[in-house]
Amino acid sequence: MSAALKPKRLGRMPAWGLLGLSFYLLALLLNLPAAQVANWLKLPLAEVRGSVWQGSAQLRLPQLQLESVNWRLGLGAPWATPLVADVKVQDDSLKAQSLIGLSWNGAISLRETRADMRLNHVLLAQRLPVQLDGILRFSLPSARWSQGLQQAKDAQLTVDGLRLLASEPLVIGSFAAQGSVTDGKLTANLRDTAAALTLLGDVQGEAASGISLNARAQVKPDAPAELRDTLSLLPAAPDGGALLQGRVPAPWLARPQ
């Protein structure tokens, strides 16, 4: 009986040995000084502290600088998402956190993603057609990225204290959006929560055609006259109010396989 078992043991030992060696090399890599690895990879980081396993740094890009980037790596399910990173980012007008998982095929999963950002942050200000101020809050329970955003479930976005920055700041109010991405197709709805105007609409799109906005806004009776004058410059909706329409590219959405 022992002779029959011996080949089976010998046949398994190289596989277990290879697995053990892989974990040993991974442990060596993760415990390397983060500053050394950042230098090797020429990453745009400064004030790098800690190890690859757990550390902090400052991000330095030409158009974006973040004062605090913290990470902590962990092991996930070996057969699906072997590596998981808890990443936190913060500066004067941005605070974000997400659990990021990396699978064997290169797909990235996001869980418990949250972000608070001022609308005048450089990430948004350069992409907005007008100057706005307010606080954007975003939450996303789960998402999957593989050559673009494939899936996103129950995304929630709110904008509090929205103001249009003109010669005199124009207070508009607070708004909310809820949406999802399924197989690379985005659908979302918009509504006002505490604003000087009533807003109802939807957002739809995909990578090939871009994202389109189709909404209707109507000024409330107690709204500032400046807001009423501003909306009067927009196309009128058939049943009153103003039409808000537009389309923007969406290269970050995954294309159908």
Residues 6+ apart with CB under 8 A from 6: none
Rounded CA-CA distance 93/116 in Å is 8
Sorting pLDDT into bands at 50, 70 and 90, what band is 103?
confident
Assess contact for 215 and 189: CB atoms under 8 A: no
Asked whether the predicted pLDDT for residue 186 surpasses 70, the reply is: yes
230 token code pair? 């501003």
Residue indicated by tokens 């109507």: 218
Q: How confident is the model at residue 138 (pLDDT cuts 50, 70, 90)?
A: very high
Confidence of residue 24 (pLDDT cuts 50, 70, 90): low
pLDDT over 90 for what percent of the chain?
Answer: 47
The Cα angle at residue 183 between residues 215 and 85, in degrees rounded to 5: 105
Q: Tokens at residue 162, please?
A: 């929205």
Name the band, by pLDDT with cuts 50, 70 and 90, for residue 83: confident
- Show me where the domains of the chain are located: 112-257
Could you give the CA distance from residue 160 to residue 173 in angstroms, rounded to a whole number?
Answer: 7
- Label the pairing between strands 132-145 and 108-118: antiparallel
